[in-house]
Amino acid sequence: MKYIRILLPLAILAASLTSCRKEPVLTAEKISLITSRYELILNTSSDLSRFPRTISKNGDMVTTNKWDWTSGFFAGNLWYLFELTGNEKWKNEAVKWTEALDSVQYWSGNHDVGFMINCSYGNGLRVAGNEEYKKIIVQTAESLCKRYNTNTKCLESWDYRRAWNDTTEWFFPVIIDNMMNLELLFKATTFSGNNRYGEIAVQHALTTMKNHYRPDYSCYHVVDYDTITGNVLDKATCQGFTDESSWSRGQAWGLYGYVLCYRYTKDPQFLSFAENIAGFLLNHPGLPEDLVPYWDYNVGEKGFSPEWKYDPSDYPVILRDASAAAIISSALFELGTYSLSNGRKYRATATRILKSLASPVYMESTVDKYFILNHSVGSIPHKAEVDKPLVYADYYFLEAVLRQERLNSYAGYTIPLY
Ligand code: GLY
């Protein structure tokens, strides 16, 4: 009996992994399309102080400085292209674009340093074993932890600012996106032996569970805190349809965030929380057939609060957000390796999403000659990057592609997905 209890789950896991071996989503032709677009980016953007982010209305390259939250994704994409093709030229470029972010490690101006440094240096360490990157990750964690408050028990995302209505003040705003910065903190604990970074990450995740999430496992975008009492002052949106709606990329960040918390802690409450979020996302009646969500799960829903943050007549067609789909796909591949009962379903769903994204609808464009995926949304309420390619959509798409390939070639007892 004892042996059955041990062997049965292993047998189920092995069977589900075997049955998930499939053809790669990207054909050689598609890989060549992707590499030609990134070659064009490199030829167009050789200034290492300007980081490719999206395209303008005319299809021209739009870049940012290194303090923008998206600055690390371009280097990350170059690391992923090196992994995808094995061609050293991508690695050489990746090193240059990663190291161009060196001074970000000392910055504590907002929470995004986790995105910026983990996607660049984190991948450089993982892919090329650049050991000296460890101390940059630890220093970045030190900078990020300056934003931790022992009363609110979480990391502040943005400094003081006013909300949409230009009246409500946010004193300690925390956005769901912040869950993504925890990966860097967990790594910093591993590299330095200092438990404080990982403990702050766990506490942030627990506070977010309590205050950002609704009973149906959808989440608010922004929660504002009183820094003295730690009480919640406001729950709202910034990039979503309404305060009470479910902004799609925010839901995706939350899913990915709790999966990574489980990766580092093996605390079952994070696993079941991630599974509950996945349940909300995948069973939502508003999810389109191709599993690429609209930019907000509730946009256009009849009877939903009309307190919307944008004028629907500006955007008569309800747009998708390919970036949210790519993040969800990548997270589901990893979640699929942890969940004994739903693993196969998550991996199959992640693959379906990838196939949709790799289809001509999202990958072929008459406007964009630079990036991989079209039809993402930066922020509709800000009228910014509406129905555009985005460097971070490409990042999570490539990550998901590589995760699917690693799962396909699984032949051992551990699955090195990250
Ligand atoms: N982290 C900002 C965004 O998802 O738009």
Ligand 1: centre distance to CA 51 (Å): 16
Close Cβ partners of 180 (under 8 Å, ≥ 6 residues apart): 114, 115, 253, 256, 257, 260
Locate tokens 């890989």: which residue?
31
How much is the pLDDT for 181?
98
Whether residue 69 has its Cβ less than 6 Å from ligand 1 = yes
Ligand 1: centre distance to CA 222 (Å): 12
Strands (E) in 157-214, as ranges, are: 161-162, 169-170, 173-175
Cα 281-207-298 angle, rounded to 5 deg: 30
Among 239, 246, 321, 377, name the best residue to mutate to test ligand 1's pocket (greatest count of ligand atoms within 8 A of Cβ): 239
Ligand 1: centre distance to CA 408 (Å): 31
Whether residue 177 has its Cβ less than 6 Å from ligand 1 = yes
* Tens-level pLDDT at each residue, the chain (418 residues): 455 555 544 554 454 444 445 678 999 999 999 999 999 999 999 999 999 999 999 999 999 999 999 999 999 999 999 999 999 999 999 999 999 999 999 999 989 999 999 999 999 999 999 999 999 999 999 999 999 999 999 999 999 999 877 889 999 999 999 999 999 999 999 999 999 999 999 999 999 999 999 999 999 999 999 999 999 999 999 999 889 999 999 999 999 999 999 999 999 999 999 999 999 999 999 999 999 999 999 987 766 655 666 676 777 788 999 999 999 999 999 999 999 899 999 999 999 999 999 999 999 988 889 999 999 999 998 889 999 999 999 999 999 999 999 988 765 445 567 7
Ligand 1: centre distance to CA 344 (Å): 29
Number of Cβ within 10 Å of residue 10's Cβ equals: 11
**Structural tokens at position 236:** 């709202």
First CA to last CA distance, the chain: 35
Whether residue 249 has its Cβ less than 6 Å from ligand 1 = yes
Atom of ligand 1 nearest to the CA of 249: 4
- Which residues are part of the catalytic machinery? 112, 177
Atom of ligand 1 nearest to the CA of 175: 1
Ligand 1: centre distance to CA 188 (Å): 23
Long-range contacts of 135-139 (CB under 8 A, 24+ apart): 135/191, 136/102, 136/105, 137/184, 137/187, 137/188, 137/191, 138/188, 138/191, 138/192, 138/194, 138/197, 139/105, 139/106
Ligand 1: centre distance to CA 394 (Å): 14
| Alpha carbon nearest to ligand 1 atom 5, residue | 378
How much is the pLDDT for 12?
46
Atom of ligand 1 nearest to the CA of 177: 1
Contact by Cβ (8 Å): 171, 225: yes
Ligand 1: centre distance to CA 70 (Å): 9
Rounded to the nearest angstrom, the gap between the alpha carbon of residue 232 and the centroid of all alpha carbons in its chain is: 25
The pTM score is: 0.93
Residue 220 CA to residue 234 CA, distance in Å, equals: 10
Ligand 1: centre distance to CA 94 (Å): 23
Atom of ligand 1 nearest to the CA of 180: 1
| Alpha carbon nearest to ligand 1 atom 1, residue | 177
Close Cβ partners of 364 (under 8 Å, ≥ 6 residues apart): none
Among 115, 177, 221, 327, name the best residue to mutate to test ligand 1's pocket (greatest count of ligand atoms within 8 A of Cβ): 177
Residue 288 CA to residue 281 CA, distance in Å, equals: 11
C-alpha torsion 255→257→263→267, nearest 10: -80
Locate tokens 């690391």: which residue?
79
Helix (H) or strand (E) holding 408: helix 391-408
Among 64, 68, 69, name the best residue to mutate to test ligand 1's pocket (greatest count of ligand atoms within 8 A of Cβ): 69
Among 67, 249, 296, name the best residue to mutate to test ligand 1's pocket (greatest count of ligand atoms within 8 A of Cβ): 249
Which domains, from first to last, does the chain contain?
A: 11-44+266-298+315-418 (1.50.10.10)
Helix (H) or strand (E) holding 40: helix 28-44
Long-range contacts of 232-238 (CB under 8 A, 24+ apart): 233/170, 233/171, 234/163, 234/168, 234/170, 235/211, 236/163, 236/164, 236/168, 237/164, 237/309, 237/381, 238/163, 238/164, 238/175, 238/379, 238/381
| Alpha carbon nearest to ligand 1 atom 2, residue | 177
How much is the pLDDT for 314?
73
Atom of ligand 1 nearest to the CA of 379: 5
Atom of ligand 1 nearest to the CA of 112: 1
How much is the pLDDT for 413?
47
Residue 262 CA to residue 331 CA, distance in Å, equals: 12
